[in-house]
Amino acid sequence: MSEENAIQPSLSVRRIFLKDASLEMPSGAKIFNEDWNPSVNMDVAVNNEALDETHYEVTLTLTVKVETAGKTAFLIEVHNAGIVALEGMNEEQRSHVLGAVCPNILFPYARESVDNLATKASFPPLMLAPINFDALYEQSKQSDNVPTLTVPAEAMTH
């Protein structure tokens, strides 16, 4: 194949969707009687699955636990996913796009899902801070594990 006919690297987002969402309030309505001084922790995970030679499903999972007065106020978990088409990429490029670029695309949707669930439960929106998925991807390459990140409360905005 000549250089003129070589396929240029491309990423095309075909669909973004909410794959799964859950909200738990272990203390029920009793939590509303507590002083609201929240502590927020968030775990982040990225997974991908090949659908065919060029299409991939990338899933960004956010698990957010909010505690106040030593009790869990609520726990939210969302799985936002996207179907993407990748062409003209070598393995290293494809891995980076699936592990860092796609989660960056999905994060605003996942953040909105978390905020919507929190406000529907009559809690204030969390307004989660952006995440450096490039750093998370590099960290996962060093450990050969599924990228997972725990974000402490100090990294969040309220």
Nearest CA to 56 among 113, 112, 99? Answer: 99
Please name every residue paired with 71 in a beta bridge, in sequence order, or none if there are none.
68
- The helix/strand/coil state of 132 is coil
Question: What is the spatial distance between Cα 64 and Cα 46, in angstroms, rounded to a whole number?
Answer: 15
Domains and CATH numbers, the chain: 3-155 (3.10.420.10)
Q: 46-55, long-range: CB within 8 Å, 24+ apart, which pairs? A: 46/99, 46/102, 46/103, 46/133, 46/136, 46/137, 46/140, 46/146, 46/147, 47/146, 48/98, 48/99, 48/102, 51/83, 54/85, 54/86, 54/87, 55/14, 55/83, 55/84, 55/85, 55/86
Mean pLDDT of the region 117-144: 88
Give the percent of the chain with pLDDT over 90. Answer: 72
The model's pTM is 0.86
Quickly state the pLDDT bin for 141 (edges 50, 70, 90): confident
